[in-house]
Amino acid sequence: MSLIVDIRRDLGKFRLDVSFEAENGVTCLLGASGCGKSMTLRCIAGIEKPDEGHIELDGVVLYDSEKHVDLPPQQRKVGYLFQNYALFPNMTVRQNILCGLCREKDWGVKETRLREMLGLMQLEGLENHKPHQLSGGQQQRVALARILVSDPRLLLLDEPFSALDGHLRDALKIELRDLLQRYGREVLMVTHDRTEAYNMSRQIAVMDKGRILTQKPTKALFADPGSVPAAVLTGCKNIAGARRIDGHTVEVPDWGLRLEVAQPVGEDLKAVGIRAHYFNTATSRNRFPVRFVEEMEEPFETIIQFRFEGQAPDSPPIWWRIPKEKRPAQLPPEIGVAPVNVLLLYEI
């Protein structure tokens, strides 16, 4: 099971130039809105046509501009879960799912597969409902059922949780993750939400302005995003330009300090990032005097903004997130960060 994508297309404001490979399991394209993620999915599904390039799934060429191959979406066997689920409003749940079985001609088989899928998706009893009578979660299950009965080689998920309320979203994430694990196929999902990407996927490819910046296993990406856009997308709040001093020291002019780092520093270092959770009052390394600016309470955490003593006036304050019960009654005069928690960013 493998997907190879290498396509280019002019998107007006910028050029989509995407090249990546994905294998078994869930791969996520993580990127800000309008970076070309959905267009990439559409090109893979055959709904949109790239200007040039090559798309291959399990050894079958779906699109190749040089060989003039461009399979219609009907022949690609690529399932596409749309953001709004795209259930056919004039059809019942049963008819919607049967649409996914249109390639199967034997009515007995159709009926059996339909029953199986209704059971798997816990949709029994809703067969004769119209989509508008269903809850958001049920609609998503019907849309998935309809796709999975068609037995696609690849499943594309386009922001699968964006249409749902926060509460429902978490429950459905777990549900969908378990289902995808059982289903055991290749899945490509796009999202702009780092938590979703972290929850659902094994591999993440970070997209920015039509390009793939990095592709890494999920945890490795969050531990070392490697570029400024990837750091921002994975939720890093504190980023500033930096330059290398020696193998394990960097200078951050905007913050007016030098940081000791754990990883060896490359020559072409552009910036450093420190996640808001990573500041520490106890550490003895990278400890600097600070001035507190602002504080905002969240239900379970406190966001504290501060400035380093030598920080440039035009540089934004630093964010520090701390669980409420750990917030010291008296804010400390100095705050530090462990060298291993300084992210080295090589691309802006």
Partner 1 sequence: MNIDWFPLLNSLRIAAISCVLVFFTGIFFAYYAARLPRTVKGILDVILTLPMVLPPTVCGYFLLLAFGVKRPLGLFLQQFGVQFVMTWYGGVLAAAVVAFPLMYRTARGAFESFDETLAYSGQTLGLSNAYIFWRIRMPACRQGILAGTVLAFARALGEYGATSMLIGYTPGRTATISTTVYQLWRTNDEAGAFFWVMVNLAISTVVLLTVNLLENRQKKAVAK
Q: Segment near partner 1 (CB under 8 A), from 70-78, 279-287, 319-327, 338-346? A: 70-78
Q: Segment near partner 1 (CB under 8 A), from 53-61, 66-74, 221-229, 268-276? A: 66-74
**135 lies in the site for partner 1, by CB under 8 A:** no
Q: Which CB atom, from 98 or from 338, has the smaller least distance to partner 1?
A: 98
Helix (H) or strand (E) holding 259: strand 257-260
Q: Segment near partner 1 (CB under 8 A), from 82-90, 112-120, 251-259, 268-276? A: 82-90
What are phi and psi for residue 187, nearest 5 degrees? -130, 135
Cα separations (Å) of 117 from 100, 178, 189, 195, 206?
A: 11, 15, 22, 29, 33
Q: Which CB atom, from 5 or from 252, has the smaller least distance to partner 1?
A: 5
Minimum Å distance from CB 169 to partner 1? 21
> Contact at 8 Å (CB) between 147 and 156?
no
Q: At a CB cut-off of 8 Å and minimum separation 6, what does 98 contact? A: 110, 114
For residues 256-285, one letter each, b for 16 or more C-beta atoms within 10 angstroms of the residue's C-beta and e for the rest, the string is ebebebeeebeeebebbbbbbebbbeebee
Beta bridge partners of 307: 291
Q: Which of 4, 11, 71, 86 forms a contact with partner 1 (CB under 8 A)?
A: 86
**194 lies in the site for partner 1, by CB under 8 A:** no
**90 lies in the site for partner 1, by CB under 8 A:** yes
**45 lies in the site for partner 1, by CB under 8 A:** yes
State the residues that interact with partner 1 by CB under 8 A.
42, 45-47, 72-74, 76-80, 82-84, 86, 88-90, 99-100, 102-103, 132, 143, 146-147, 150, 152
